[in-house]
Amino acid sequence: MSNIIIKSIDSFDYDPISYIPSGIEDLAINLTVTIGVKDSSGGDNFDLFVCSPEWLLKNIWDPEIVRHTLIIRKYDIEEIKKIITTYMEKCKSNTWLETAEKLSRYFAWEFEDYKE
């Protein structure tokens, strides 16, 4: 499955395109990345928390395992898209389900642990 693409990137917190943190210690945004097959109209949602190391130092005091998190030094949505695309390339498999399960190692998949 070589034709997976980012369909959209959204956030409930801010507009991801125009987001500008007030300082490096305030750089934190929850992104929802819709990823799907190029030739389909839809996609699945994958959540990713993006923050700076300074934000972590300021806000996380207790030991914590941090999953589905991207730590960056500056907010640049185009650079974030490149990073996401790099991880998407690592996750390509024969079927969408296999690909999505691999993507869920890096991004919180809306159907992770879903049982019919």
What pLDDT does 2 receive? Answer: 66
Q: Which tokens in the block code for residue 78? A: 């185009």
What pLDDT does 115 receive? Answer: 65
Residue 65: HSE in the Cβ half-sphere, 13 Å Cα cutoff: 1
Q: Single out the residue of 47, 56, 53, 52 nearest to residue 8, CA to CA.
A: 47
Q: Are 45 and 53 in contact (CB under 8 A)?
A: no
Residue ranges, the chain, pLDDT below 70: 1-2, 115-116
Residue with tokens 């993507």: 103
- Give the pTM: 0.91
The CA distances from residue 63 to 6, 30, 66, 71, in Å, are 33, 21, 9, 17
